[in-house]
Structure 1
Amino acid sequence: MRNISKTSTLESKFPLLAVEDHCIISKEADITTCFRVHLPEIFTVAGPEYDAMHSAWHKAVKTLPDFTVIHKQDWYIKENYQPYIAKHDLSFLAKSYQQHFNERPFLNHYCYVFITKTSKERMRMQSNFSSLCKGVLVPKELRDKEAISRFMESVSQFERIVNDSGYVKLERLSEDDIIGTDDKQGLLEQYFTLSRQHGTPLQDIALGAEEMRIGNNRLCLHTVSDTDDLPGTVSTDTRYEKLSTDRSDCRLSFAAPVGLLLNCNHIYNQYLFLDNSDENLKKFEKSARNMHSLARYSRSNQINKEWIERYLNEAHSYGLSSIRAHFNVMAWSDNPNELKQLKNDTGSALALMECKPRHNTTDVATLYWAGIPGNAGDFPAEESFYTFIEPALCFFTEETNYQDSLSPFGIKMADRLTGRPIHLDISDLPMKKGIITNRNKFILGPSGSGKSFFTNHMVRQYYEQGAHVLLVDTGNSYQGLCELIKGKTKGEDGVYFTYTEDNPIAFNPFYTDDGVFDIEKRESIKTLILTLWKRDDEPPSRAEEVALSNAVSGYIDRIKKDNQNPSFNGFYEYVRGGYRTILEEKQVREKDFDIANFLNVLEPYYKGGEYDYLLNSEKQLDLLTKRFIVFEIDAIKDHKILFPIVTIIIMEVFINKMRRLKGIRKLILIEEAWKAIAKEGMAEYIKYLFKTVRKFFGEAIVVTQEVDDIIHSPIVRESIINNSDCKILLDQRKYMNKFDDIQAMLGLTDKEKGQVLSINMNNDSSRFYKEVWIGLGGTHSAVYATEVSPEEYLTYTTEETEKLEVMALAKELDGNVELSIKRIAAYKSENR
């Protein structure tokens, strides 16, 4: 049977003539400039910022001439995450991470703005004058060169005003972006295939009365094209209840329900038609008079007259510009059974905006055709409604999905909305942009909030990118990761120190492998001895500080001169002998420096004393070249003497790395050990570390869970928090009632408070993850998901039964921790 249906070629109906100088020229002599729009990330914008964006759009739109169409087109496309498994240098855990997210579906967002200069006649055309209905399109000539020049100048002003807002960035599309190349699809090709995948061929477009189809994709169109469809009030932003509490707000743009929250393939078109406002108002004045004359015949005429007068009063009272607007959501699917669900989901999204969902089947073809980039002049005028610029702009979507950092260095986190892996740089790029002035980090999270998982995940990625990592742990949180690294490097790395009675941690604070005692080394020794000598509530006098400094300098000079092996025993004997004689010659009074008391207090650390092993190690630790070191000091965390001393000596190990490793990234992470080091005698030492480490390409990280200790510790607040430009918080709902104190202590804004209190409030039950808030410099902040692969979970876990299972199997496999983790993960995956 012969096909007798009317068919046309796309070429014969194609409404565009050329793309020149980054502009699209239509066959009807319309000229369109095209921009890619970069919006802020979702859940990172507060109410005042939405107002600022709205104001910027408003100022920009007012610069454009009459008979201009602003067409904002937001694409939301379902895509699958493509892993980087082919990279040859991926570690076992990095590869397992990529495989875990392989083909993870997510909704990607692309945003464009098209500004079209057309004519008065074209702005008033009905749907039956669409280029779709014409037999042959005869190109018209662009005659008014001066008007085009003025239009291009106004577009440049539009671009500058929006970009100056600091929230939205416009980027001009090139000709290749619009037309495409051999290697990538252009925007026009993407629109006609409803696909952004390179190589998708053009397919038949079927335009019917009840259905429109592009290839196998059937379209479902909802329009907001009548004042009866509009909500009673509009605003720049609304409260997102799923992530809000009675103490905090999460804000989204008014149109967010038809944006990223509508989880299907769809395009959201937003049109503003800039007619001549004075002509519009004159027309309404005439219409109001006619309605008044006919009011006696119909009550509806009287009501319409009142509405028109209210519109005119608003326009004249506030100097508002009369414009027309239209909004539509075009969703599609290649599965006919999904089409009904798409219709329901889109209708529900519009209902959330308090719009009346109107499923349009009549004008699908003409509205799709008008949505072609550069063809807004073909829009059917009867599908628009009169309004003002400000309320119309409230229908613009103002947020996008999470974006990767443009930096080679970073860590992998996950988008909290879709679970897509995000490459996030919280160290180098923010420093380069001036967002932060140091790389230090302060991490706060109660027990069970996923703190150790996040820190394991972060330091593992730092290590794999070449950093030297030194961890001070109080709970075996990093044992699994350390053992894995040790096995992978065959013992060359992954050094794990733990304190036991049989094998206590021992050091020699006076040892340097190059014999150089610079000012940092000397200050470290003095701080250590001062900690041994004085209690927290007993600050040294000025005379005592000078005497101690002279004693350290004198002993260092002695060992250099006599070429002695330095040790604490040697220092003690020097003070008892030679230095005592020097003090007597100087006639230093006992009340200024009581040397007998000094020696008595230090005697337990001298040979024969209770702690003589601690500072007189004969085995010098060569940790300079070790890139992953863990000091596990849980056994002595409550020991008033050993804990602070061991902690200081560990800090000395890091400072040695800091001084000696030029141009190499280094990181020290201190868990609950800050309680011991945050003492009066050590405040300056900690301040020095936190202020100086940035100069040596390093970062200091402190992790804690005790909120009260931080709030009531001025030393922690001054030396650690104030010098940590990156603050990382985990679930704080346990501290909801005291969060005001935490907010004040950390200097969080109300927006940041809302983000922190939204953590883990709306997690996807089909995924296993915990959320974490990361704030940079008080200006950039967002909540991310820490989601890891089963292999990473087994490496990071702090559950004792799971750790024992891994270690027990590793023992059977000749100590191969990696193989043990692989087998357990595979077994659990098969039996899930």
Structure 2
Amino acid sequence: MKKINLSAYHPILDIQDNVVFASNGNVVLGYRVSLPEIYSLSEKDFEDLHASWFQAFKSLPAGTVIQKQDSYRKSTYTAEELPKDTFLQKATHHYFKNREYLQHQSYLFFVLPLDKHLKASKYVNPFRKTEKGIHKKLDHQVREFIGAVNDAVSFINNSRKINTFPLGQEAILEYTHSYFNGFHQDVDTDIRLDQKGIAIGDHHFDVLAINSEQCFGESLQSSKVNEKFTSDQFTFHQGFIDGLGLDLEEDHIINHILYLDDKHKWRKVLEKKIEELSKSSNFGTQNKVVLKKIGEIVNRINEDDSSRIIRGHLNIIFWSQQAEQLGRIASKIKTEFKELDMLPYYPKGEERKHYFLNSYPCFASNFSNEDLYVTDLKHALCLNINNTNYRSDHTGIIFNDRQHNIPVLKDVWDEKKKRIKARNFAIFAPTGEGKSFLANNILRQYFESGVRLVIIDLGGSYSKFAKLYPDDHIILRYEQGKNLGINP
């Protein structure tokens, strides 16, 4: 397969609400995921999110495929939402316009595969079509699957920190077109596949993956210490693989795919594998490492009745307009994996092509055993991305987000009273850290939006602010021993 024309081999037969009936016989339910803001989660918050994912997924039927996909695309801030009437507003608008940032979108897909045994061969043509009417034959099975997924999604939404929203027909088709169009926005183009690489239009793609137990280090956890923001007084946490998310300032997608298997069946498979490796462990250190890791998995399964065996696959698809830049991006990803004590696998040729194609949700059941690691569900969920960009409120004051230094609108009055019951707030910081400067900024924006201000200024920090509006302010000075009256 050298070239793909999507119109001739469209992967979708039909869409009903957020249920996709794929041309290969799979049934897919798609959701957009709203995650907590970056830097807003504590160590306990990460543990709670991890527990929520586990509780939601553990009861899904055997044979279910779950794909969490996090897409990060370079974008420029248009500044269209910023006012530009006054001098300072114009300066702010000019300062932020065209600033680069990463646009993050998180998706969650549940796949009912036509082959529930999930025994794909190494290379499967994802565009092959099944017999007509196959979905009608599976009608009862599909209804049960949709019910189980709805229960899982309801549990996720009840966690409060995460919300899911069903993808409608238009959103699904737009997503599909964007994926196979190489994320070009102004032109339709073909996918060119060959042994050297993947090219879609003028975008060149490559892939790195975690596809076996050998890729993992000694441990996985739901969060890790953020060295950048941690101080002697405070320990700051981030998600375990957050360094591959918003911190990787390149166009990329993180695909985390889980195959939910029958626990008892795979326990027997793993025990047999341990027996085989035990016989050959003296013939190489690699066999000893794999034997140890599989033994740890089996022990976790035996010790925890709630454990769930899964096969998993994590890959990062990244792209650039310059093919020579792919090596530089790959080095950044490998460096981050190294800090996590993980060793990514680099697929080439035919394998790379199939990693890209099978990362489209309708094809997610096509990975073979050679492309999957085996572990328990709790272990695998440590590889989930659990946060996203700062989000603006509907109204409020313009601040800078600390990730990309672009404007973010925050309602400091907390109009809907999500955080506090009364309309007041305080600014705390050591001397010289910018309390008055920040207050000036907040007050200026409120004043320019038509809010009447009364400022009690003991240190003279706001006199320059008042002089910006010579016709719109009155200064009343208090002299000791004299009464001060204000007639509103």
- Partner Cα distance (2:398, 2:437) in 1: 13
Aligned residue for 2:403, secondary structure, equals coil
Q: 5 Å matches for 1:343-358?
A: 343-358=330-345
Q: Out of 375, 379, 382, which is 1:394 matched to? A: 382
**Cα 1:11–1:277, aligned 2, differ >3 Å: closer, same or farther?**
farther
Matched, 1:62 2:58: yes
CA offsets 1:477-536 (integer angstroms, 9 cap, x no match) = 2223222212xxxx2x122344xxxxxx5xxxxxxxxxxxxxxxxxxxxxxxxxxxxxxx
Q: Report if aligned partners of 2:5, 2:191 keep a CA contact under 8 Å in 1.
A: no
1:228 corresponds to? 214
**Cα 1:459–1:368, aligned 2, differ >3 Å: closer, same or farther?**
same
**Cα 1:86–1:417, aligned 2, differ >3 Å: closer, same or farther?**
closer
Name the structure with the higher helix share.
1
Q: 5 Å matches for 1:251-266?
A: 251-266=237-252
Aligned residue for 1:82, secondary structure, equals coil
- Partner Cα distance (2:67, 2:172) in 1: 15
- Partner Cα distance (2:6, 2:168) in 1: 23
Q: Report if aligned partners of 2:281, 2:291 keep a CA contact under 8 Å in 1.
A: no
Q: Report if aligned partners of 1:207, 1:365 keep a CA contact under 8 Å in 2.
A: yes
Q: 5 Å matches for 1:818-829?
A: none
1:496 corresponds to? 475
Q: Out of 313, 325, 329, which is 1:326 matched to? A: 313
- Partner Cα distance (2:303, 2:429) in 1: 54
- Partner Cα distance (2:191, 2:81) in 1: 38
1:103 corresponds to? 98
1:626 corresponds to? none
Aligned residue for 1:336, secondary structure, equals coil
Q: 5 Å matches for 1:430-445?
A: 430-431=416-417, 433=418, 435-445=419-429
Matched, 1:456 2:443: no
In the alignment, residue 230 of structure 1 is paired with which amino acid? F
- Partner Cα distance (1:297, 1:72) in 2: 39
In the alignment, residue 324 of structure 1 is paired with which amino acid? R
Aligned residue for 2:469, secondary structure, equals helix
Q: Could you say what the CA RMSD is over the residues aligned between the two structures, in angstroms?
A: 2.5
**Cα 1:196–1:426, aligned 2, differ >3 Å: closer, same or farther?**
farther
CA offsets 1:173-218 (integer angstroms, 9 cap, x no match) = 1112112xxxxxx111221234374xx2221211111211111111
Q: Out of 30, 41, 47, which is 1:45 matched to? A: 41
**Cα 1:110–1:418, aligned 2, differ >3 Å: closer, same or farther?**
same
Aligned residue for 2:142, secondary structure, equals helix
1:13 corresponds to? 9
Q: Report if aligned partners of 1:77, 1:266 keep a CA contact under 8 Å in 2.
A: yes
In the alignment, residue 357 of structure 1 is paired with which amino acid? P
1:217 corresponds to? 203
Q: Which has the larger radius of gyration?
A: 1
**Cα 1:232–1:140, aligned 2, differ >3 Å: closer, same or farther?**
farther
- Partner Cα distance (1:378, 1:301) in 2: 27
Q: CA deviation at 1:148?
A: 1.1
- Partner Cα distance (1:240, 1:196) in 2: 34
TM-score normalised according to structure 2 size: 0.92
Q: 5 Å matches for 1:334-483?
A: 334-362=321-349, 363-405=351-393, 407=394, 409-431=395-417, 433=418, 435-483=419-467
CA offsets 1:218-269 (integer angstroms, 9 cap, x no match) = 1121101111111210100000101001221110000101111111111011
Q: CA deviation at 1:84?
A: 2.7
CA offsets 1:262-309 (integer angstroms, 9 cap, x no match) = 1111101101111222221222334444556x5599577984666545
In the alignment, residue 168 of structure 2 is paired with which amino acid? S
Q: CA deviation at 1:474?
A: 3.1
Q: 5 Å matches for 1:665-684?
A: none
Q: Which has the higher contact order (CA 8 A, sep 6+)?
A: 2
CA offsets 1:288-343 (integer angstroms, 9 cap, x no match) = 44556x55995779846665454333312212221101101111100234222211
1:268 corresponds to? 254
Q: 5 Å matches for 1:519-668?
A: 641-642=480-481, 649=484, 653=486, 657=488
Q: Report if aligned partners of 1:235, 1:254 keep a CA contact under 8 Å in 2.
A: yes
Q: Report if aligned partners of 2:35, 2:386 keep a CA contact under 8 Å in 1.
A: yes
- Partner Cα distance (1:394, 1:296) in 2: 29
- Partner Cα distance (1:298, 1:351) in 2: 27
Q: Report if aligned partners of 1:257, 1:352 keep a CA contact under 8 Å in 2.
A: no
In the alignment, residue 141 of structure 1 is paired with which amino acid? I
- Partner Cα distance (1:52, 1:391) in 2: 14
- Partner Cα distance (2:268, 2:452) in 1: 73
> Paired residues, what number?
484
**Cα 1:196–1:415, aligned 2, differ >3 Å: closer, same or farther?**
farther
Q: Report if aligned partners of 2:39, 2:238 keep a CA contact under 8 Å in 1.
A: yes
Aligned residue for 1:63, secondary structure, equals coil
Matched, 1:141 2:128: no
Q: Report if aligned partners of 2:66, 2:258 keep a CA contact under 8 Å in 1.
A: yes
Q: Identity of aligned pairs, percent?
A: 24
In the alignment, residue 454 of structure 2 is paired with which amino acid? L
In the alignment, residue 75 of structure 2 is paired with which amino acid? E
In the alignment, residue 398 of structure 2 is paired with which amino acid? K
Aligned residue for 1:269, secondary structure, equals strand
- Partner Cα distance (1:324, 1:226) in 2: 9
- Partner Cα distance (1:214, 1:167) in 2: 36
- Partner Cα distance (1:8, 1:189) in 2: 13
**Cα 1:9–1:53, aligned 2, differ >3 Å: closer, same or farther?**
same
CA offsets 1:101-121 (integer angstroms, 9 cap, x no match) = 110111121100011011446
Q: CA deviation at 1:374?
A: 2.7
**Cα 1:327–1:302, aligned 2, differ >3 Å: closer, same or farther?**
closer
**Cα 1:86–1:246, aligned 2, differ >3 Å: closer, same or farther?**
closer
- Partner Cα distance (2:292, 2:332) in 1: 36
In the alignment, residue 43 of structure 2 is paired with which amino acid? G
Aligned residue for 1:127, secondary structure, equals coil
Q: 5 Å matches for 1:79-118?
A: 79-84=75-80, 90-118=85-113
Q: Report if aligned partners of 2:64, 2:116 keep a CA contact under 8 Å in 1.
A: no
Matched, 1:152 2:146: yes
- Partner Cα distance (1:346, 1:305) in 2: 27
CA offsets 1:457-487 (integer angstroms, 9 cap, x no match) = 101111122211011223432223222212x
In the alignment, residue 373 of structure 1 is paired with which amino acid? P
Matched, 1:25 2:21: yes
Aligned residue for 1:330, secondary structure, equals strand
Q: Report if aligned partners of 1:367, 1:380 keep a CA contact under 8 Å in 2.
A: no
Aligned residue for 2:390, secondary structure, equals coil
1:313 corresponds to? 299
**Cα 1:288–1:100, aligned 2, differ >3 Å: closer, same or farther?**
closer
Q: CA deviation at 1:138?
A: 5.0
**Cα 1:308–1:437, aligned 2, differ >3 Å: closer, same or farther?**
closer
Q: Report if aligned partners of 1:130, 1:379 keep a CA contact under 8 Å in 2.
A: no
- Partner Cα distance (2:28, 2:52) in 1: 21
